[in-house]
Homo-oligomer: A and B are copies of this chain.
């Protein structure tokens, strides 16, 4: 139940390059049964750690606290839940902010280009180490959904089902443009110093602006109209409040607050690597087309969940993913949820997501 670290001994081969003995951080909840077949593997979005939910060892609430636990939709009295911190991230797994054991120096931009497949490959080492030969399900939301797909394509025998939430079979140009611009904003911050920033003074301005753009893409116009309308900010916070173009609307104040909370909590180079990995992902790389790729799947059940107000992973992509899975997998169900919180709905609109997830895991 506590935080664990698995070291992959020797040379770990990535799509482009290698790492020496990288480490994968993970957390678990519940108990593995005697058949070792009740495990649920969860992959995260770009920014969370492996801390999905609180436990006796770590009582801080997790990023999906409502979803995982005793009596919750992914019921830890029944399932053994494993969540990995993605390779390339900065919450215990090896990433560009880690020390390269071969040189004794922090990788920074010497870290190889990261792919979604690399994250799946590093994660399977944890499953192997836990001596799990058959997973009840592989689950992922957003970037995590891409990793879950890659995992099921790379290791078709390992998982019996797949749950993809607000994710995609490949990155499309609108999302690529948004993420590319976030990365460029960071790279244009002079304190980024081509990745060699002082760890005590990371590129806060670039990260803050990139996070604001992220928030714009994670939520929806209709949510903000309902929530903020044209309300003026009572108090403005941070540097953006000064000067003739200072923040004046509540929505600006909200973004300022969200961005300030993020800056400092996530390593900048790690963010760049993970962001780019999403752009590069295309399941068609596993075959000439998505359909050909999916023909190698061995899962027997799949659920695709999307939200109609999501502009980053739009509902059409969820429908396409569901249709493509339907051609290869016996039992595929698709849920289009009417949440107004856009891409972030799976983190906040729990009343809509809980029953759908509970239904899948209640067999």
**Interface size band for A:** 35 or more
Question: Which of B188, B227, B240, B248 is close to A184, meaning CB atoms less than 8 Å apart?
Answer: B240
Q: Is A230 an interface residue (CB 8 A)?
A: yes
What is the chain B residue whose CB lies nearest that of A312?
B221
Interface residue? A183 (CB, 8 A): yes
Which single residue of chain B is at the shortest CB-CB distance from A231? B173
**What separation, in Å, do the CA atoms of A183 and B247 have in the docked complex?**
10
Question: Judging by beta carbons under 8 Å apart, are A221 and B174 in contact?
Answer: yes
Most buried by B among A175, A177, A189, A282: A177
> Which residues in chain A, 166-214, are within 8 Å of chain B measured between CB atoms?
170-178, 180-181, 183-185, 187-190, 194-195, 205, 209, 212-213
Asked if B251 and A177 make an inter-chain contact with CB atoms under 8 angstroms apart, the answer reads: yes
Task: Check: A243 CB closer than 8 A to any chain B CB.
Answer: yes
A194 and B243 contacting across the interface, CB-CB below 8 Å: yes
Residues of B within 8 A of A170 (CB): 230
Q: Which of B176, B228, B314 contacts A252 (CB 8 A)?
A: B176
Chain B hits for A221, CB < 8 A? 172-175, 311, 314
Tell me if A104 counts as interface (CB < 8 A to partner B): no
Contact of A209 among B188, B216, B311 (CB under 8 A): B188
User: Once the chains bind, are B190 and A209 in contact (CB under 8 Å)?
Assistant: no
Contact across chains for A244 and B113 when beta carbons are under 8 A apart: yes
Contact, CB under 8 Å: A230 / B184: no
Check if A225 is an interface residue, CB within 8 A of chain B: yes
Q: B249 contacts A181, CB within 8 Å?
A: no
Least CB distance, A342 to chain B, in whole angstroms: 10
20 residue pairs of the A-B complex, CB under 8 angstroms, read A170-B230, A172-B229, A172-B230, A173-B224, A173-B225, A173-B228, A173-B230, A173-B250, A174-B216, A174-B221, A177-B251, A180-B249, A180-B252, A181-B209, A181-B212, A183-B245, A184-B209, A194-B243, A195-B244, A249-B279
Given contacts A172-B229, A177-B252, 16 further A-B contacts (CB under 8 A): A113-B244, A172-B221, A172-B224, A173-B228, A173-B229, A173-B230, A174-B216, A174-B224, A177-B224, A180-B249, A180-B252, A180-B255, A181-B213, A183-B245, A187-B240, A249-B279
Sort A-B residue pairs by CB-CB distance and give the 3 closest, nearest first. A174-B221, A173-B251, A173-B224
